[in-house]
Structure 1
């Protein structure tokens, strides 16, 4: 989940608490090119005020125009954009040429809907993911546990849909380096909450002077200490270390394997990684199963050389695991 998702649900709750009916929209599936992925959400009021997005703008404009004209009065429905309608009614064509399926829920300001959104917010502010199940028959909804941290964001059945919800994606970067800075920039653009843990003053002295890092949170603390604190690593957290300093990288890995982080990785050549694995077992006390959780060398094998190329390979691998894709399936 991205930060924007949390803001959307908070806004929906605020409007319900103020006595407003809201329309909660979720992208269910995309075919071809699409600027927003399945699971993206938007909330709107009857007067057109809204937060979040479903596409690059064209879908939102059509939906809001029809909403203000009195459409979407039913409790739940789905709408397909980008494909000619059977009734020959004019249908917008997405500039990217794709097709978009959207779930539209009409939520009245009653106790049941307010409780559901309160529970959903608790999930998004917590540590674990849950499925948000919605009936396509009567619009009833509930939250149920998920089996794994990675995998499809949306599952569509004949008469229901399930959307994976949970805490915002978080990237914890153990220590600053040229690769770490590039990685932070990539992660911010991908919607991650990015936290850099750096105890060395000489490394973070000019941190806030870098405009590319203005949306990155700096913790002036040893990464292992931050990672070990309860609540800092949840199921939507990736932990990466790229300093080449064992005092930073090794300790971060030792703590990370005891957390719920869905991705753990450390930079280094194959030889360096083999030596680190031996240290982590003998000195760090890790067992083979814990060691297997650590991606080392980190990232996809793209032949990367420059800091930006290495950062790209790292974030591509994080995305792979987040999507539940095995390396041999690429």
Structure 2
């Protein structure tokens, strides 16, 4: 889950506790070049407070003007960018069209299970009945972010990706601080006691044991990323020995071109096939001329986001029916 969207939910709960009226806006369909991905959130209050984004700002401005005149009382499905005039007015790029669900919120307590689950790195799904407004929240292992049809909006919240870092150092600290904003829950293993004592980043789950045992216990799957950053072959190679046998989405190791070639030679001696070793991303990260630990962390995350986006297939939402007592589709003029 995007960190911005978590903040939207948290702000909405805070506003509700203050007695304000709050509407939650969710991007549920898009066509063309969409400025924000499916599931993006925007919250607005009856006194003009807002947070989040569903576009570059133009759609938010229109929503705020309309809500100032008449705050929504029931669930609506709203479509922007239908005509050439609308696209010019709202500034949607390349003929883009957005469909939004506008949901009046009523109770901060109803958001608490959702916020608690996300804060504790648990994956949950929120099911909204578009006609009755009934909401349920339940645990899930779903690998999608959003599903939408004429009956309900089903959205997954929480970190849908896991990042296992082997080696506690400066690059690891920066990576651990940045990754949660990109939908990763972060785990760390380093058997060296002195490295653990000098770790400073928060919100990381430590895994005990030697790196190979930690990888096996972690049970990597296709939404798992494993990176070895210790610079110590005795530590990194132990993790890679097991990681390269798994279904992990991405496995990377820090080091120069020369050290990467030497590592591959060592891995051939550890019962790994050439095909398994070929899965290793080394040197790790995009080539952005990074030098500092923070820059290296940025290059690693940039590569992860690039590969994740390239490999993802957005589900095609089904159409939405017009009508029903609590559901309206409004094509904004």
TM above 0.5, yes or no, is yes
Match of 2:318 in 1: none
Alignment gaps of 5+ in structure 1: 209-215, 282-287, 326-330
Do the aligned residues in 2 keep the contact of 1:250 with 1:276 (CA within 8 Å)? yes
> Number of matched residues?
292
Deviation at 1:36, TM superposition (A): 1.4
CA deviations 1:58-91 (Å, max 9, x no partner) are: 11111111111114222x1111122239xx9999
Match of 1:146 in 2: 140
Change (3 A) 1:9 1:310: closer
Change (3 A) 1:310 1:106: closer
TM-score (norm 1): 0.65
Match of 2:8 in 1: 8
SS of the residue aligned with 1:279? coil
1:158 and 2:150 equivalent? yes
Change (3 A) 1:265 1:280: farther
Deviation at 1:122, TM superposition (A): 2.1
How many angstroms apart in 2 are the aligned matches of 1:106 and 1:262? Answer: 40
How many angstroms apart in 2 are the aligned matches of 1:44 and 1:234? Answer: 39
Match of 1:211 in 2: none
Match of 2:317 in 1: none
Change (3 A) 1:65 1:194: farther
How many angstroms apart in 1 are the aligned matches of 2:76 and 2:220? Answer: 33
1:265 and 2:229 equivalent? no
Alignment gaps of 5+ in structure 2: 255-259, 291-295, 315-333
Structure possessing the higher relative contact order (Cα contacts under 8 Å, 6 or more residues apart): 2
Match of 1:78 in 2: 77
Change (3 A) 1:182 1:121: closer
Deviation at 1:135, TM superposition (A): 1.3
How many angstroms apart in 2 are the aligned matches of 1:4 and 1:34? Answer: 17
Moved more, 10-19 or 300-309: 300-309
How many angstroms apart in 1 are the aligned matches of 2:31 and 2:170? Answer: 37
Moved more, 309-318 or 191-200: 191-200
Query: What pairs up with 1:190-229 in 2 under 5 angstroms?
Result: 190=182
Do the aligned residues in 1 keep the contact of 2:123 with 2:141 (CA within 8 Å)? no
